[in-house]
Each structure stands twice: as structure tokens, then as C-alpha cells.
């Protein structure tokens, strides 16, 4: 996910907070040596409830529970380059299954990938095409009674309440709705748009995403998720964006990133110990996944300045900047805008009209796709325009150096991400060949013993990691 835009963050204060957290890590590790600490007192085996209320036929075990942890911006090689300092993730690997890597989709951005993880569908079908989108109403079609035609022009913007408008989310059912419809309890923590009803249905517990300088509640979110799984819930989902924020601000190769990963590893290790002490290790499956990787935005990356190529009189809106940009033309100005965009060097940026977007991107049939799509190649970065036509309209969008780290590229090794899994449904010590982000949804449903909705996953790509 992108760094926050709503407020200027004191990263000096943030960095000091991070280093304080990490400096306390040695104390936390010492606590791990004791057989039971107060942190686990509420999840002892004696507190377990009867699981007989669970419904749905399972090919694995009717009592299987699933905890999905999405750590935003976790690049595929972050673990291997410092694994000696990451005993929690090492335990996941030795006691469970992990993928060599997970292939991201296009675009390798947060909101589209979160929705793909929760549906198994590509963006052109689930309709969430980016962290920023523009709905432009078309003439009312009385034959289809399309309600979108009656909705005025609306912006979908990463960190404000525009993302909560129901019409963005009406097209497909996400996993928490499916599991809820099956009569099971679902809990989500810090998870974007679990708080928007789908056909009037909400999960039992949902805390929507709220940005914080440092996510200090991740540990509590994990332990609360475990407590709920122990007390009758079938599915818990926890989201964390700290790794992503640090990667954007300091870069993927920074010491700050490495320290942050060590701290998150300690909390994962604490969770694994808590599961063992709860007496639920034979029922709870833990999956840690991510949405994309991260790459450096340094001086070697060539900048493409949109304002040098386009006549802004031809432009209605420019949506996003960086690696993937969409442009809506003013009425009757598409041809003129296309001619201007053709001057952008194709060695660095691929420019597509909507109808010409390649099928392999799984994008062009998206309801909110605009007139033109610009895709930066690795080594290039698109700088947005100044003024109200730019979405988002802030200083970062027209800056040549908004971040130290970026993502969103297509077919780039640094965009690869991770998958770890441990529990009764998964083989022990299994190294799974690479698979795609869209393949994960069917794993979740298999573990829960529920039939998946239609999806784009390939079962043969993932089935060997499961015990049955």
C-alpha cells in the first residue's frame, strides 16, 4: 500500500518509536523462554468452547479454524536475506509450508490485490482496479436499469471514506461474506472494507482499516483473533501495513526495514507459542500472505513527467501516479490526447487505449477502467500533474521523489511476495513451487471446508501443500 496522504507524518518520531520497539525486543525474547506468561492467560485450553456449532462439509476437518494474516509489502526475499534473525518465520517454515514466492497480479497495488486475495478474482471482474479510481457516469441504460448511471462522478481514494461507498463493492462476494452466509462466525481486524455490507450482510466482528504512524495494536489483534477462534469463530483475518510503510519511507534495503521485520517476527513467534499453549494447535491453521513486494526508487530510475507530454485541456482527470496511471479524456478529446500520449517514450512507459489493453493484464473490462492506461516499465516512474485534475491532488503526486520505495510494476522480480502456512491442514516442511495471488482463495475455502465461489485460481498449483 502507499504511504499515507491525509496528514504529514513525523517520520523522525516514527523512526524513534520503531527503534524503541526493537530495543525492547531482547526483553520480549527472554519472556518467550518461560512456559506461560500473563499474555497467554486468557487463551488456556480450559477456556475452549464447544465447536459443534460449526457448519459446512469439510474435506479436511469440520473443526478446522483459519487465521489469515496479511502483512502488506512483504517482499519475497525479505526472509531469506536475514533468516537467522527471524525465528518466528523460521518456525513457520520448519513446521509448515511456504511458497518459493507468490507471483503478483497486475497492478501490484494494495486495494486490487486485497480484493483478489479475498475473492480469487482478477481486478477486471471484482472491479477494484487501483488504490485510486474514478467513476464516470454513462448515459442511463433503461434496458439494464444500471444504478451506476444515476451515481454522479465519484473518486475512490485510498485513505478516506470514499472507499466505503457500497457501489464500489456490489459486484462480488468476499470470503467473509461467504463464510458468514454458511452460518459461521468471522472476525476481521484492521481489514479494509469488511465494514461495507454485501447484500445486507456483515461479518460478526469487523474493525475497518485505520492508518496509524506505528501499528501498535498488531500484537493485540493477533491474540484477540486467537481468542475468538478459540471461542466459536471459524475465520479470523488480521491486516498489518507497517512493513509497507517502512519500505516506502526508507526503502526495501534499509536498516529500518530490517529492524521492523525483526519486531514483527517476534510477534509472530509469540502468536505461535500462544496457539501451542491454548491447546488448539491441532485445529488452528495460520496463513501469512502479502499483496506485493517493493523496489527502490533511487536516482537510477528515470522519471517521466506527464505535463511535458499532454495538453491539460484534453485531460479530464489523471488517476494516480508512479507505476500505473489512468487518464480520462475530456469529451471529444480522446483522439487529441492519444496523439499526445504517443510521444511518451515506449522504452519506459506503455500507453494503451482502453480497448487495446492486453488480455494478460486482466484489466480492460473493469467497470471503472478509463480511456487510457499508462504502465511504467521497471526502471521508470511516472510523475503526475499539478492541480485539481490529478487524483490524488497532493505534493507527492507531482514529486520526482515521493518515496524511497515503490511497487505496482508488472513482471518484476521485486514485486514477488510471500506465503507461509502452518496447521493441521498443511504438510510439514513442504516447499511449494511458485503460484499466483489468485490461487490463494481456494486454499482458504478448502481449509474451511466450504465450496468456493467462481474464481480464477488453479487448484493444481497449490493442492500439494495440503494434507488431503
Give catalytic residue positions: 110
> Is the CB of residue 350 less than 8 Å from the CB of residue 356?
no
For residue 417, what are the β-bridge partners? 102
Whether the bond between 293 and the residue before it is cis, its omega within 30 degrees of 0, is: no
**Rounded Cα distance, 133 and 131, in Å:** 7
The three-state (H, E, C) secondary structure of the chain, written as one string: CCCCCCCCCCHHHHHHHHHHHHHCHHHHHHHCCCCCCHHHHHHCHHHCCCCCCCCCCCCCCCCCEEEEEEECCCCCCCCHHHHHHCHHHHHHHHHCEEECCEECCCCCCHHHHHHHHHHCCCHHHHCCCCCEEEECCCCCCCCCCCHHHHCCCEEEECCCHHHHCHHHHCCCCCHHHHHHHCCCEEEEECCCCCCCCECCECCCEEECCCCCCCCCCHHHHHHHHHHHHHCCEEEEEEEECHHHHHHHHHCCCCHHHHHHHHHHHHHHHHHHHHHHHHCCCCCEEEEEECCCCCEECCCCCEEEEHHHCCCHHHEEEEECCECEEEEEECCCCHHHHHHHHCCCCCCCEEEEEHHHCCHHHCCCCCCCCCCEEEEECCCEEEECCCCCCEECCCCCCCCCCCCCEECCCCCCHHHCECEEEECCCECCCEEECCEEHHHHHHHHHHHHCCCCCCCCCCHHHCHHHECC
116 neighbors 126 (Cβ within 8 angstroms): yes
| 275 alpha-carbon distance from chain centroid | 25
- Paired strand residues for 324: 375
Question: Which whole-number Å values give the CA distances from 28 to 69, 223, 277, in the listed order?
Answer: 21, 15, 17
Amino acid at each position: 500500500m502507499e504511504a499515507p496522504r491525509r496528514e504529514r507524518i513525523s517520520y523522525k518520531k516514527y523512526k524513534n518509536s520503531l527503534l524503541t520497539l526493537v530495543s525492547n525486543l531482547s526483553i520480549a525474547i527472554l519472556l518467550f523462554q518461560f512456559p506461560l506468561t500473563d499474555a497467554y492467560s486468557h487463551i488456556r485450553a480450559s477456556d475452549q468452547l464447544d465447536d459443534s456449532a460449526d457448519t459446512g462439509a469439510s474435506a479436511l476437518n469440520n473443526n478446522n479454524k483459519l487465521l489469515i494474516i496479511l502483512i502488506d509489502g512483504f517482499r519475497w526475499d525479505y526472509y531469506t536475506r536475514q533468516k537467522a534473525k527471524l525465528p518466528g518465520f523460521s518456525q513457520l517454515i520448519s513446521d509448515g509450508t511456504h511458497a518459493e514466492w507468490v507471483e503478483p497480479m497486475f497492478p501490484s497495488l494494495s486495494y486490487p490485490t486485497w480484493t483478489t486475495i479475498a475473492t480469487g478474482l482478477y481486478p477486471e471482474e471484482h472491479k477494484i482496479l487501483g488504490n485510486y479510481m474514478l467513476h464516470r457516469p454513462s448515459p442511463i441504460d433503461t434496458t439494464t436499469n444500471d444504478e451506476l448511471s444515476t451515481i454522479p462522478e465519484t473518486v475512490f481514494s485510498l485513505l478516506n471514506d470514499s472507499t466505503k461507498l457500497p457501489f464500489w463493492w456490489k459486484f462480488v462476494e468476499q470470503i467473509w461474506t461467504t463464510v458468514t452466509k454458511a452460518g459461521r462466525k468471522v472476525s476481521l481486524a484492521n481489514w479494509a472494507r469488511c465494514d461495507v455490507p454485501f447484500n445486507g450482510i456483515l461479518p460478526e466482528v469487523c474493525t475497518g482499516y485505520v492508518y496509524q504512524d506505528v501499528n501498535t495494536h498488531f500484537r493485540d489483534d493477533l491474540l484477540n483473533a486467537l481468542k475468538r477462534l478459540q471461542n466459536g469463530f471459524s475465520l479470523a483475518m488480521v491486516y498489518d501495513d507497517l512493513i509497507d510503510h517502512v519500505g516506502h519511507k526508507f526503502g526495501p534495503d534499509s536498516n529500518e526495514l530490517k529492524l521492523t521485520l525483526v519486531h514483527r517476527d517476534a510477534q509472530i513467534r509469540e502468536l505461535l507459542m500462544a496457539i501451542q499453549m491454548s491447546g488448539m494447535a491441532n485445529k488452528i491453521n495460520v496463513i501469512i500472505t502479502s499483496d506485493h513486494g517493493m523496489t527502490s526508487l533511487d536516482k537510477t530510475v528515470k522519471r517521466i513527467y506527464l505535463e511535458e507530454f499532454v495538453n491539460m485541456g484534453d485531460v479530464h482527470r489523471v488517476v494516480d501516479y508512479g507505476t500505473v496511471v489512468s487518464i480520462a479524456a475530456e469529451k471529444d478529446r480522446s483522439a487529441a490526447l492519444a496523439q499526445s500520449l504517443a510521444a511518451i517514450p515506449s522504452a519506459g512507459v506503455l500507453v494503451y487505449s482502453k480497448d487495446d489493453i492486453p488480455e494478460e493484464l486482466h484489466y480492460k473490462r473493469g467497470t471503472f477502467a478509463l480511456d487510457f492506461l499508462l504502465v511504467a516499465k521497471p526502471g521508470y516512474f511516472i510523475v503526475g500533474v499539478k492541480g485539481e485534475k490529478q487524483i490524488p491532488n497532493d505534493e507527492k503526486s507531482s514529486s520526482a521523489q515521493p518515496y524511497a520505495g515503490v511497487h505496482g510494476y508488472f513482471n518484476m522480480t521485486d514485486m514477488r511476495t510471500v506465503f507461509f502456512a502452518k496447521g493441521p491442514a498443511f504438510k510439514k516442511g513442504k516447499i511449494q513451487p511458485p503460484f499466483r495471488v489468485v490461487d490463494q482463495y481456494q486454499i482458504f475455502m478448502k481449509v474451511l471446508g466450504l465450496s468456493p465461489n467462481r474464481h480464477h485460481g488453479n487448484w493444481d498449483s497449490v493442492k500439494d501443500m495440503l494434507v488431503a
